Chain A
């Protein structure tokens, strides 16, 4: 932006209005444009399309409230996660070199990408698991059970044992639902819960944390006291109470997770932003007459983003786990094929059909493990100030 032609012109002489004034970055423009498009589509779905009609008739896809939130989350991830990485190629390479040192994290990232793509794209192409009592209790492929366990064995019966087939690679549940399909649809649920609730959390925690730190005084006191109270209430029991009172549809569950779980991260952001707001550049901006929202958005938020990203990555697994736990307890959304619910379904058949509870659990376990590895590696890559274990 500054002149490099060697003019005697000095910084104070530049007529900023002539140069375009307060330029809005192209990325922000694109983001706002897609938000407008999003709002129009949302309005179309809610005002013009009947409740039980599919939103997009060609695909037969009835976009639910959760889907809409998920789309918004993905938009934000693209514009504030993917685009900056693509634009700042040099920094991306630097981070990647840091990140690549941790081999477990690279494997985790690949695994999570697969889960994400299969869970979001794959579910559009496969049929949801159907009730089929004839196909109940089929064992997974390369394993066998006594032939009297399944209603009718889909594979061969050898020595009185029913062999698993590739028709149901992970076997079927007591209702004859294919476990592979249940697992794939469970991926979608887990990703939606983890990403949407974390997105809400990030927005709230960053807004509250930076505002409290920058404004100080009574605003700080009131906001942080509220956070104190929110943190005193044990999270899981808060979920339980709210699910009991309001019901456990997936949409509400995600909202409950997002609206009540941001306290700890807000505290982190506040302590980080407190340090940042003492820095020269913030004082310079203030001295130049920048408004409070401007300083917070342009100077504080980018500087606490590393803390936020790391904390958010470590928050996702706990949310996925909480959703699975609630579904396991039978308090989740009964219409949604969550991993926790499949695990609960198989509990009664542990001695005869071991695969129903165990297989979805492995996916749940590895997804949580992968997010934990990823968060740990991000902390090492993004935050050079922290050393050692924690």
Chain B
């Protein structure tokens, strides 16, 4: 098992390395929008477009040989020297540090609520298969998977902010973190993120729990007179948690990262998603890269933890092979 863990760790590094290399190559082959803009300006001002491009490249260190640029890029990525954001006039890392608390503010409650509620509903559905409640649960799951999050957010804003006026339409980043006003303006983002996450969690939870509902050891426990709650928590939930815990990390991460991006745009929360979109719209390449590295990094680490969790939680699996 230690050999497996070591190899898995090494693979995480290799994968990160390859992804960064591909990103670097992509940047190399695509025309630089900023350089093009500078050239255009120079040409309009009567100057030489060629000279403007050369000046730009010298300033950015783009005239160095490919290999040197590549190694500089790699070193910078790993030492968190992620460059300077032109549009925000601050280092990229600083901009990210400014933004991420806003993402956590609604992200953490949403993950906690959706995990607990999702697993609870999934378990209930599995133990009460083909009842009305099960069908209702399945319907909620389909609803959650199918509804476009950004549109759902708009509808909720329309109803609860514009029509009913219960929550503010615009997010105010200046209110204290732990205050009623902040909680009020975070209710809708948390709700949208929760519906997205809860749907897939309850589907997984239901499917996993179903495998154990009719297992021999559950029947034995029932025969010995264990009460329903004990059977549910000790005999069904425990084995089901093993695959669930890994699914929660791997599959939900992508979902939550994507949803949070759209949620921030809809509700105007100045978090990482908003920062990234502004960077894309303003052609701020350094900031685009920085804000893309964050989810990639989270995904690599999440996948690593997912695989490692499996080795610890489920000793039955043989790792001699892979």
B18 touches A (CB below 8 Å): yes
What residues of A have a CB within 8 angstroms of the CB of B157 in the complex?
A: 350
B300 touches A (CB below 8 Å): yes
B258 touches A (CB below 8 Å): yes
- Which listed residue (A240, A241, A324, A373) contacts B26, Cβ 8 A? A241
What residues of A have a CB within 8 angstroms of the CB of B154 in the complex?
A: 343, 347, 350, 357-358, 361
Most buried by A among B23, B27, B158: B158
Segment with Cβ contacts to A, from B55-63, B69-77, B203-211, B230-238: B203-211
| A358 engages B158 (CB within 8 Å) | yes
Looking at the assembled complex, report how far the CB atom of B215 sits from the nearest CB atom of chain A, in whole angstroms: 13
- Which listed residue (A233, A328, A373, A390) contacts B142, Cβ 8 A? A373
Complex: chain B residue closest to A104, CB-CB? B142
What residues of A have a CB within 8 angstroms of the CB of B266 in the complex?
A: 347
In the assembled complex, 16 residue pairs joining A and B whose CB atoms fall closer than 8 Å, in A order, are A232-B19, A234-B254, A235-B254, A237-B295, A240-B280, A240-B292, A244-B280, A245-B30, A343-B151, A354-B162, A364-B148, A368-B146, A369-B143, A369-B147, A389-B203, A389-B207
Chain B positions 233-283 with a Cβ under 8 Å from a chain A Cβ: 253-254, 257-258, 261-262, 265-266, 276-277, 280-281
Complex-state Cα separation, A244 to B276, whole angstroms: 11
What residues of B have a CB within 8 angstroms of the CB of A236 in the complex?
A: 254, 257-258, 261
A142 touches B (CB below 8 Å): no
| A331 engages B162 (CB within 8 Å) | no
B138 touches A (CB below 8 Å): yes
B303 touches A (CB below 8 Å): yes
Q: Indicate with 1 or 0, residue by residue over A327-366, a CB within 8 angstroms of chain B CB atoms.
A: 0111100000000100100010011001001100100110
| B15 engages A365 (CB within 8 Å) | no
| A390 engages B203 (CB within 8 Å) | yes
A11 touches B (CB below 8 Å): no
Chain B positions 68-126 with a Cβ under 8 Å from a chain A Cβ: 125-126
A205 touches B (CB below 8 Å): no
| B142 engages A369 (CB within 8 Å) | yes
B171 touches A (CB below 8 Å): no
Complex-state Cα separation, A325 to B162, whole angstroms: 23
Looking at the assembled complex, report how far the CB atom of A231 sits from the nearest CB atom of chain B, in whole angstroms: 8
Most buried by B among A325, A330, A347, A373: A325
Chain A positions 115-143 with a Cβ under 8 Å from a chain B Cβ: none
A372 touches B (CB below 8 Å): yes
Beyond the given A236-B257, A388-B210, could you list 7 further A-B residue pairs with CB under 8 A, ordered by the A residue number?
Answer: A229-B15, A240-B292, A241-B26, A324-B148, A354-B162, A368-B146, A373-B142
A-side residues, CB < 8 A to B, are 228-229, 232-237, 240-242, 244-246, 317, 321, 324-325, 328-331, 340, 343, 347, 350-351, 354, 357-358, 361, 364-365, 368-369, 372-373, 376, 388-390
What residues of A have a CB within 8 angstroms of the CB of B276 in the complex?
A: 240
| B277 engages A357 (CB within 8 Å) | no
**Known contacts A369-B142, A388-B210, A389-B207; is-contact A233 B299 (Cβ 8 Å):** yes
What residues of B have a CB within 8 angstroms of the CB of A245 in the complex?
A: 26-27, 30
- Which listed residue (A232, A237, A244, A372) contacts B145, Cβ 8 A? A372
Looking at the assembled complex, report how far the CB atom of A334 sits from the nearest CB atom of chain B, in whole angstroms: 13
What residues of A have a CB within 8 angstroms of the CB of B210 in the complex?
A: 388-389
Complex-state Cα separation, A245 to B283, whole angstroms: 10
**Known contacts A241-B23, A358-B158, A372-B145; is-contact A232 B151 (Cβ 8 Å):** no
Complex-state Cα separation, A98 to B243, whole angstroms: 30
Complex-state Cα separation, A357 to B157, whole angstroms: 12
| B162 engages A350 (CB within 8 Å) | yes
Q: Indicate with 1 or 0, residue by residue over B121-156, a CB within 8 angstroms of chain A CB atoms.
A: 000011001000000001000110111101100110
| A389 engages B155 (CB within 8 Å) | no
B35 touches A (CB below 8 Å): no
| B19 engages A368 (CB within 8 Å) | no
| B30 engages A232 (CB within 8 Å) | no
**Known contacts A237-B296, A246-B30, A343-B154; is-contact A325 B148 (Cβ 8 Å):** yes
B193 touches A (CB below 8 Å): no
| A331 engages B296 (CB within 8 Å) | no
Looking at the assembled complex, report how far the CB atom of B112 sits from the nearest CB atom of chain A, in whole angstroms: 21
- Which listed residue (B138, B147, B206, B257) contacts A234, Cβ 8 A? B257
Complex-state Cα separation, A237 to B154, whole angstroms: 22
Looking at the assembled complex, report how far the CB atom of B291 sits from the nearest CB atom of chain A, in whole angstroms: 9
| A237 engages B257 (CB within 8 Å) | yes
The 4 nearest A-B residue pairs measured at CB? A390-B207, A361-B151, A369-B146, A236-B258
What residues of A have a CB within 8 angstroms of the CB of B280 in the complex?
A: 240, 244, 331
| A233 engages B19 (CB within 8 Å) | yes
What residues of A have a CB within 8 angstroms of the CB of B257 in the complex?
A: 234, 236-237
Complex-state Cα separation, A381 to B146, whole angstroms: 21
Complex-state Cα separation, A389 to B157, whole angstroms: 33
**Known contacts A361-B155, A390-B207; is-contact A237 B292 (Cβ 8 Å):** yes
**Known contacts A343-B154, A389-B125; is-contact A232 B300 (Cβ 8 Å):** yes
Complex-state Cα separation, A240 to B157, whole angstroms: 26
B288 touches A (CB below 8 Å): yes
Most buried by A among B148, B280, B281, B299: B148
